[in-house]
Amino acid sequence: MKPAVCLLSGGLDSATCLALAGRDGFACYALTFDYGQRHRAELDAAANVAASLGAAKHLVVPINLRLFGGSALTDNLEVPKTGVTAGIPITYVPARNTVFLALALAWAEVLSSSDIFIGVNAVDYSGYPDCRPEFIEAFEHMAQLATKSGVEARTRIQIHTPLSHLSKAQIIQLGQTLGLDFRLTHSCYDPDANGRPCGLCDSCRLRLKGFREAALQDPLDYIHS
C-alpha cells in the first residue's frame, strides 16, 4: 500500500477525507496539530477518528501558533455567533494551511510518500484564502521544488483535495457512504467544557445546514439547535 499523509483536524471534512484516502488504498498517516486551539475536543476527536478508520499511524504535533497571536481560534477573541458573513472571518488562523501542509510535506518526505490529503472545501467554507484551489495548486508547485524527492527523483508530489468541489451536504453523504461515525467528529469553534458543540458558530451552522440538506440527522448533542 502506498503511504499518504492525511491532515486530520477531527472535523467532519478531514475525517471524510481520511476515510476516502483509506478506501482508495492508501496506508494513511494521519497528522493532527496541537496548535494552541482553545479547546481539546478537536484533538480527542482526531484520535478517535484515526483509530476508527484504521490509520497506519496518528501523530499529534505541537506547534504553538499562539506565539504569533491573531485569531479568535487561538486568542481570547470572541468567536462570532450571529451567522456566516462575507469576507475572511476573525476565526481565520494566519497561514494555517500553509504551516500544516509544510509539516505534512516534511513527514511525507521522510515516509517516501508523494501523496498528501487535505479536506479543504471551496463551496460551503468559511472564506479562508488557504482553502481555495488556486492556493493548493501553488503549494503543490512549490512542494515539487522544495523536496529531495521532488527534485532528485522527480516524484510528482500530489496534494489531494477530494472534497474541494463538494457541498457540505455532499461531504456528509459521502462520509455516510464510507461508514464514517459522525459521533466521533468535532466541528465547533466554541464548545463547552465537556466538548459539547455550541450550535451557533460558523462551523456549527455550516455543519447543521449540511446535515439538513443531506436529509440526515447529525448525532451530536448541540447546546443550541
Q: Which residues bind its own copies (CB under 8 A)?
A: 59, 61-65, 67-70, 87-88, 92-99, 101-103, 105-107, 109-110, 129-130, 132, 134-135, 138-139, 141-148, 150-152
In the bound state with its own copies, the residue whose beta carbon lies nearer, of 145 and 215, is 145
CB of 202 to its own copies, least distance (A): 16
Q: Which cell goes with 121?
A: 472545501
In the bound state with its own copies, the residue whose beta carbon lies nearer, of 154 and 217, is 154
Contact criterion met (CB below 8 Å) for 159 and 119: no
Cα of 154 vs its chain's centroid, Å? 28
CB of 60 to its own copies, least distance (A): 9
CB of 220 to its own copies, least distance (A): 30
CB of 162 to its own copies, least distance (A): 20
Cα of 109 vs its chain's centroid, Å? 20
CB of 62 to its own copies, least distance (A): 7
Map residue 35 onto helix, strand or coil: coil
In the bound state with its own copies, the residue whose beta carbon lies nearer, of 14 and 32, is 32
Cα of 156 vs its chain's centroid, Å? 23
Chain position carrying cell 529531495? 148
CB of 46 to its own copies, least distance (A): 15
In the bound state with its own copies, the residue whose beta carbon lies nearer, of 28 and 174, is 28
**Gap between the Cα atoms of 82 and 60, Å rounded:** 32
Cα of 101 vs its chain's centroid, Å? 11
Residue 221: is it exposed, middle or buried by C-beta count within 10 angstroms (0-12/13-18/19+)?
exposed
Cα of 43 vs its chain's centroid, Å? 12
In the bound state with its own copies, the residue whose beta carbon lies nearer, of 26 and 139, is 139
In the bound state with its own copies, the residue whose beta carbon lies nearer, of 99 and 216, is 99
Contact criterion met (CB below 8 Å) for 117 and 6: yes
